[in-house]
Structure 1
């Protein structure tokens, strides 16, 4: 039957939980959900809503900002929310768990800012720390999946119009270089594995109703180590939640991959 894995920046889990429950019950029953920007502490996470559907949830939460969670119908083991690195632990942006033979690392990369500003420097340093951590992880585990909101559109294929995004945060050459270095640590972009030339986006600006013109960016990724790639069967952006008018959706859509096994 395979295992489905989802990366989804929900932009406040408590604001989206009813829509997510509808998606899971009416559209597709995903096995493992990796959420970013849950924007709540662990005790405020709607564990009960997911437990009612057969999921367990682990959370690395933060009040009003950031926060990541893994919600799974499969057993989660070796949960990790602290990584022993100030850059990775300063804000709640990372959570790790093992499912079967596969280590899942769910991340929310800082959005950053214009070059020369402190938030840009923080984003660059976070990428460096994450790459170093992933390299160490890959020395111990064959199957590693890093997924989440990376806040970087890697190539021209990942934005609807390169002229619109030229010089914009999320499409800066310095950010793309850090993303490429992360991939070079031993990870594969699962979407590009199966869709090498396709334009498909995961984020659309709320303010301009961009979803209806498909004027977006692909900034959410599922990355897998080489031993995971033969098991990859399918990966797609599911637009069902993003196209809802009520309840109000996130500005991201879920990215869902199916693997033969983990």
Structure 2
């Protein structure tokens, strides 16, 4: 099974990029972020013609998340994090695909710091962490996939010293990410490539793509049911160089179909297995 995440930075404006990548990569399930389209403007017909069923939570101009499934319709289980009844930002959607519960997320950016946007990011992260703990307690194959807007370590940013006060690299945010992983989730890309400098995002400004001045902010976290099945993980970097590309590249994992019995997930903040 191949799972992927792709911040498309406008699903309609970059639809051809998405369709070309789907045809080339053929993931079984894909999480999309930054649809930047209201609910009624999501290109469902074109995506279905490409062989994918979809659920989505759109929003005009900003945000928006979707889950696509190859040859199937995702079975939606929720479309916002618990505790956010007044939260109008479209940042989370969850569905079952081929026996895996997938949470697709688009973490708030949080800049500038300090300020209300950073406070919102930390509050949203706290809600995500609580929900992630509940997913582990349910003891099911689960994955949290998307644009976390977090560089967890120095290896995940081209010049760490320049990002110390940025909301994507602040200590509070990195600590929140490490606390989430420590529940028992496996950071799939880092698990298989522990010492490599890997990026998933390159800004449009200052020739970031040409200089390879990137960030790793798109992550796939696997529950203990899925982590033993992890076989390969990577970034389709070349997509970032296509015409009219998103500033993100797709990130993916491949897993075996066998389902070994998992070890019990840690939910007490103990040492992570990823």
TM-score, length of structure 2 as denominator length: 0.89
The 3 A distance-change label for structure 1 pair 120 and 205 is: same
Match of 2:270 in 1: none
Matches within 5 A, 1:23-62: 23-25=21-23, 27-62=24-59
The 3 A distance-change label for structure 1 pair 6 and 183 is: same
| Counterpart check, 1:198 vs 2:196 | yes
* Counterpart-to-counterpart distance in 2, 1:88 and 1:152: 24
Matches within 5 A, 1:126-141: 126-141=124-139
* Counterpart-to-counterpart distance in 2, 1:14 and 1:240: 20
| Counterpart check, 1:255 vs 2:251 | yes
| Counterpart check, 1:70 vs 2:73 | no
Match of 2:9 in 1: 11
Report how far residue 173 of structure 1 moved. Answer: 0.7
Match of 2:156 in 1: 158
* Counterpart-to-counterpart distance in 2, 1:115 and 1:67: 23
Match of 1:186 in 2: 184
Gaps of 5+ in 2: 260-274
Match of 1:103 in 2: 101
Give 1:117's match in structure 2, choosing from 108, 111, 115: 115
Report how far residue 240 of structure 1 moved. Answer: 2.3
Residues 73-118 of structure 1: per-residue CA shift (max 9 Å, x gap): 1442243214442278431100000123321000000000243300
Secondary structure in structure 1 of the residue aligned to 2:253: strand
Gaps of 5+ in 1: none
C-alpha contact (below 8 Å) 1:88/1:130 kept by paired residues:
no
TM-score, length of structure 1 as denominator length: 0.93
Q: Which range moved further: 33-42 or 86-95? A: 86-95
Secondary structure in structure 2 of the residue aligned to 1:86: coil
Residues 147-182 of structure 1: per-residue CA shift (max 9 Å, x gap): 100101000010112122222231111110111111
* Counterpart-to-counterpart distance in 2, 1:112 and 1:124: 8
Matched positions, count: 257
Give 1:169's match in structure 2, choosing from 161, 167, 170: 167
C-alpha contact (below 8 Å) 1:8/1:253 kept by paired residues:
yes
Query: What do you get for the CA RMSD once the two structures are aligned?
Result: 1.6
The 3 A distance-change label for structure 1 pair 158 and 82 is: closer
Match of 1:93 in 2: 91
